[in-house]
Structure 1
């Protein structure tokens, strides 16, 4: 369909005048790409795009941040993290605040830097803030594999790893009012598209696996529009996603991690929606279990935004007390957050 047909499809999406359709993307990169490509402005007002809980930083509870802050203040410990997480506030402070107070916090670009630093500096324990979904779990498994192979005891992970199918079920069962899902392309590249088959059958809703280019997203929305009211799954990202996924990556994850219950910001604990280190590798765990407490900042509506109950612009703090330069909640901190992307793209 890409090519001559894309203009006709774009025209149909712009002029659609049927029943309202609510489509949720559950991938932070999709959220960012939708904004960057101006997709909402190309659609009929009857087609609503809803940003779901697909930003790993946004769904991380404050107990995880608090634990990282605590670890960073130890003399013999260095906390490593990606850039987005460093600005997310815990109960009292963020990792950036802790660093300003003299804590040991370093921003890195690759989790594998944990192994390099630990190998060069055996007198300190290096803790990586392992936040993410199925997409990044293989990377963290590789970090552990390297640490095991090199005999490093000063590498640890503080994990807050989530898995997609269970939270999608939660959103649907808790009043999301969603008619179809743009399935996360990066996640599906690891898990395979078949992971959404049973969920589609159970929920009676369509799923379309999408890439991240503007044309691919338009085709995905068009496919979901045509599938409205029916279950089923389509894979429109076949250059990257197969039905079975990345077998080697899944085997590596299974070697080091096992399923667990997990706490999601604004949603509480969702059964079977997380990954934790297996018992035999507990010595690499920096204290990840039972980090459930979540203290939303006063006035923050992230909990409602994450499950599609309100738009970011409906939050009374949006664009006023809460902006990317002065972020109040995690959804405005992360570049994959729905509030951030609404703000920078001027969406209403």
Structure 2
């Protein structure tokens, strides 16, 4: 299978492992943050961490759009479904994320709310066409990867005159988040997380290109390598970062050349710019308020903006008690350092978004590193 089996070749993996061992200075430690949850799962699924020297450590970042959505925005979605008699549509991962008092969308559905899982924005538009007497809201989340389909849905709804369709927009931007992670002070009582370089997101970069990461690499002197999702992609990207760190360079390099270009998908960028603009600030779970890190619907398309169409109640939202998802998203803690992990919190009974999402770090630890996590807990005990 082209571009799959070639990047899972065991002989090439061992060759890359030897190259990393040769070039990694035994007198120093390398802390490489993989921003994207897809990289986290690749690292655990294929045992990449076990193939590199002990002084090369992967730090799990906030690269899971479901995980970084703050509880308040999820609570707003629950209010839309329960309090405004709308048909709320969203992607499957959002259904089981717990909000305040563990109220999730699937629990709101059990209470009578009309909440429907969709696979695409086109599914949401079809529901609006099929239910002209009901307001249909698409709960839009995601990084730059899923933003163009949302923009297309709004343009299509306007073209068709679907006055019963609107979008609750929660699309966030990766370059400002990377800059915030590097620049933000540590939380009270926390040891600052050390990051020597970033494995840049791949699907996101296929849309925006790799040029938007250049200011962060330059200003904070942290190298960025845009990495593919296969195990050999991750290992080669780690080798590229180690070389930059050893040479004192802080540039953006593109390992994922078979998909990503410097300028990205200009047509997709134009569509998004037509419909959306950058918010002044947006709250991320774990990171707090990050300036200019999310998108909102432009005034010209306000009729399709659920936040404008429906008056949402200000809320006092809060995380599930003892859930360490925010600290895990900052790279400060690992899932096995959360008291709930593997005990109260499991995929069947998630206490936080990091266990729910298919890209969450806790889900990766559970699926691929569960025995390792149990050993860590037994040692700590």
- TM-score (normalised: structure 1): 0.95
Within the alignment, does 1:247 sit opposite 2:270 as a pair?
no
> 1:47-85: per-residue Cα shift (whole Å, max 9, x none)?
111111110010111111111111112574111111111
The equivalent position to 2:332 in structure 1, one of 309, 314, 317, is: 309
Instruction: Call closer, same or farther: CA 1:293–1:180 in 2, change over 3 Å.
Output: farther
> 1:173-224: per-residue Cα shift (whole Å, max 9, x none)?
2333100000000111111111111110001011001111111111011111
What residue is the counterpart of 1:27 in the other structure? 36
CA distance in structure 1 between the aligned counterparts of 2:304 and 2:154, rounded to whole angstroms: 8
> 1:96-142: per-residue Cα shift (whole Å, max 9, x none)?
10011111011111121111111121011111110111111111001
What residue is the counterpart of 1:38 in the other structure? 47
The unaligned stretches of length 5 or more in structure 2 are 1-5, 185-191, 374-381
List structure 1 segments (4+ residues) > 4 angstroms apart after TM superposition: 1-6, 288-294
Within the alignment, does 1:287 sit opposite 2:304 as a pair?
no
Matches within 5 A, 1:79-158: 79-92=88-101, 93-158=103-168
CA distance in structure 2 between the aligned counterparts of 1:322 and 1:14, rounded to whole angstroms: 36
CA distance in structure 1 between the aligned counterparts of 2:215 and 2:43, rounded to whole angstroms: 27
Point out the more displaced range, 19-28 or 248-257.
19-28
> 1:320-341: per-residue Cα shift (whole Å, max 9, x none)?
1111111111111111001110
What residue is the counterpart of 2:356 in the other structure? 333
What residue is the counterpart of 1:217 in the other structure? 234
Query: SS of 1:199's equivalent?
Result: helix
What residue is the counterpart of 1:7 in the other structure? 14
Shift of 1:266: 2.2
- TM-score (normalised: structure 2): 0.87
Query: SS of 1:24's equivalent?
Result: strand
What residue is the counterpart of 2:216 in the other structure? 199
Query: SS of 2:240's equivalent?
Result: helix
CA distance in structure 1 between the aligned counterparts of 2:86 and 2:315, rounded to whole angstroms: 23
Instruction: Call closer, same or farther: CA 1:191–1:292 in 2, change over 3 Å.
Output: farther
Instruction: Determine if contact 2:40/2:361 at 8 Å carries over to the other structure.
Output: yes
Alignment size in residue pairs: 348
Instruction: Determine if contact 2:142/2:172 at 8 Å carries over to the other structure.
Output: yes
